Structure 1
Amino acid sequence: MNKRALFKIAFLAWALILIATNANSLDYPHNGINNIGCDSCHFIYGGEPSLLPPWTVHTPQDIDDTQFNTLCWSCHNDIDAPYMRTHSSLQIDTSYGNWTVECKVCHNPHYQRQFRAYGSASYLYSGTSISVTNTTITKTGAGWTVDAYKNLIVIPNIAKRDYNYKILSNTSDTLTVEGPIDLTKATAGNTFAIVYGNLIKDSIDLSKITITPSKSGSKTTRFFNSTLSKSFADGDATYDGVCEVCHTQTTHFRNNGGGSDQLHTNMGAVVGTRCTNCHMHVNGFMGMGGGVHKTHVTDEKGPRLACVDCHGSYTPMLADGQNLANTTVCNNCHSVSGAIVAKTFWQTNQGNWTTVGGESSYCGSCHDETPGNSKKDGTGEMAANIVGNNTTYGYFVTGHGKTTGSYQRLSWQATMAYGNSAANKQCSACHDLTSQHYNSANKRLKAGYENDSSNSNCKQCHDPGTVAIGAPQWYTTYAEYQNSAHKNKKCSDCHDVHGASGTYTGMTKGDKQNLCYQCHKDPASGGIQNNAISGASLADDIQQAFSLSSKHDLGTSFSVNFESYTLECVSCHNVHIVTGKYWDAASGKSPVSRFTSNTAVWGDASGEKMNDYAGTGTYQKLPDDSFTGAQLPDYPTFCLDCHGENDSWTPPNPPASHFGIDWANDPHGKQSANAPDA
């Protein structure tokens, strides 16, 4: 008979004896109270290592997906027991190469080795009970803090240490446990002990860690409490904390005391604190703890905060001494309203806020009318208002984030017309949300979406052949724009792609003529000179010209072909294509586009000159005018788009707001010069 067969027989006999004689031969939680026995994890007729069940054999998906871990995860699945990731490079990073620590390296699944190995040194409390029932242990005058020992382990009779139970709650003198307590093994008058538990081994074999180069030797481990002495990492010169014994390369808490910041002082005074406040087991002990710590501290897309920015001198409470629900520490970064929403997503996986709440909620929690700040004291960089009030204006109302319907009509359109269809673009359409959030020179724009002199961003969608070319169309091609008088202006000089400047049509940065006046104003104050046709002595800029008594009244209503319109600068000038000022006519340039055909420059080509309008007649230029009929744009045809000669009127008071030129009664159009005129 070979050794393997003998081992199986011996193991089977041992298991049967245990099952028959002692349902509590295993320590809590892997014991009969949870309906767990030897055969829950071991297949005694099998041939796998440690007699693991055959179903644990599989093709691993990664280095964590081992046969032993598969067994653990069969229960630790967040249904039967809490799910926990193992400690590995998959959860942390590959700074030390690829490595993984199986569950069984740190945990003994059968026994609470700490109290078995170290006895009274491991006790958090011990005393003599005055009463023991199926579910309670009472010690008169104990003076315990309510629920101070909740979820820890109690041994009702230290002489029978195989019988131990989970504490569900405690009052000042009574422990309530997950029973039933075996009253044949524990009675009043026995000495009981409370221990921390968690099935941590008393010695960890470093050679069991999967890493290259491999480790060797074993380290004594003492883990008696979550804080203070003999906790995760208590900072004394005996490196036996469960978070110390394996570390040979880390900056903090190395097992030889040689870390460059051995006591983790970059986090403040953390020695003897609960490491899992920041390095949670569910995350594989990844730094930055639970929730979205990583987003706030280390990720490029986050604000790169230091721990003290939020926590101050408190661990783990927040800087104002409050817990997450009550703290105001979040308000400066997220705004008061945004912080309320932000807190609800703290404990969810990264990205859930954008998935559940959408980017309007996620990005808008800072980028709204009560903007967030990059520093908790409000002295940092203010978030730009992108979302606006999210009701009458803002990215998701008047900007590219509008999801359904149509935008307001463009100001050159008929008053009953609709604007373009909603763009329905999320922030991530243009921005790389994974890139550095603050102090980003390119505003986190994706590659190819730069807001540069070539207008790369806007061309992604607005050039022919791309997506944003539906009617009504006013922008034509980038080539025509580059040939226009405004070619040196970026699209974003006039347009706010976020729609956050106000309730302006076309996502402009000003309302109608007020946008134009930002440049077309007094040259003495940096504006552009535009001399009146009658001479610069009358007006040398557009804003001045429209302040005179004789002018087109901007905003007045008129009708053409039974459609109602309002008169605006863009009724006569398509700013994307007009090529020059009126005095540039000799160079083949023109400042106008026809009202009835406003996607083409008027007067810059053959067929659109005064000689063409004159036909067989002769264009008679003014005595002081240098332009010939072959150079000057055909302004009469341009004007007659609105001032149609078929419209009738009776001087001096026209019956309607829009009327035409009466060549018989008013050959020079003096009476019509101020039309349309409300």
Structure 2
Amino acid sequence: MKSWSNKILLPLFFFFLFYSVAYAGSYTSSAHGNSSYGVNRSSISGYSTGNCAHCHEQHAMIGGTEPKPASGSASPFCLFADNFSGKTSNPYNQSDNFCFYCHCYTDATSLQTPNFTNYNYSRTFGGYTTSSIYSIYKAFNQNSYHNLYDIWDFAKTNFSSFFKEDSNPCSVCHNVHLAKRNKENPDDPTYSAISKPSDHFNLWTNTMNDYAPNKYQAPYRYSSGCEPDGGSCNDLTIQAQKTPDYVTFCQDCHVYNMSSYGLSHTPINWNTDKHGNAIRSRNERMGQPIIKPPYDVTAVFNYVLSCLDCHEPHGSYSYKYLIRKEVNGNITNVTADTHDDWKTLCLRCHYREHTNKSCLECHYHGSGKF
């Protein structure tokens, strides 16, 4: 019996040892596991930067000061606080989402040492440095935002292979054990912070050039050059290879009918929208150009846009639809569903406008005129 046990247990030991090291290798190269700038909870001591214990408490609590365990049971995933409160709308409190305990900069007291910023997309990749969004926590507490409860509810059904009742909504788009710091390396999509929901255990590193070879034109950056890093606008391929394929990524969810979540213009089919793969029908109207640089061309050409050329991923100042504050090198001001508001977005890329009508009356995803 002893000999049989050793033959079974010893290989199992080495299997789990190898698996742990291999898995740790991915984590230690992530933003959270990095030994220089990874997780480092200020309220505990004796653990190195990046150590698992900064988020997970293997015996349910350290020093008895955390809000878990309750009623004698450990917190799911052995986290030091609730993953998600289940709150159905913002404004969110820090305690509503576990990630807000660190991704909050000065908008709340951060448990991370040292503190750090998470600027919005308009600033990080669009160069709009006057943006006042410094943290994920604040981004989600704006007028327009990805509703965390809706994400949680949707993922339980559609991504149940990894997403569970006690999972965090942020984990639908991010694998915290793999995510890297794309914000520090805007020109290198291998430093991806996202994982496609249907492929949760891998980083999403495909680019817009993979999605639409020689068809993705990066928009102007607010400061100079083109997104995502201010590089030259003259070469389609170079900037496209720096930009993640947000179309395929976002359509992992938005290919579904989401009218029950208040998204009436879903599912989105980027192959049939003119901002997507549908062929451009004209470059001018009544002898006047209709498309602004860098999208103006002398021959009809189908430039394909990325979802984040116009939208923020977490939250936005806009009244709806996650509209970016900076688009194609200039600012927007979509605070209401009016002609004057929407033209601040549409005229970033178009010369012409209709009068006295909201652009959304005719132009929206799936309308055939978008």
Structure 2 length normalisation: TM-score?
A: 0.46
Higher relative contact order (CA 8 A, sep 6+): 2
By percentage of residues, which structure has more helix?
2
By percentage of residues, which structure has more strand?
1
Determine which structure has more spread, i.e. the larger CA radius of gyration: 1
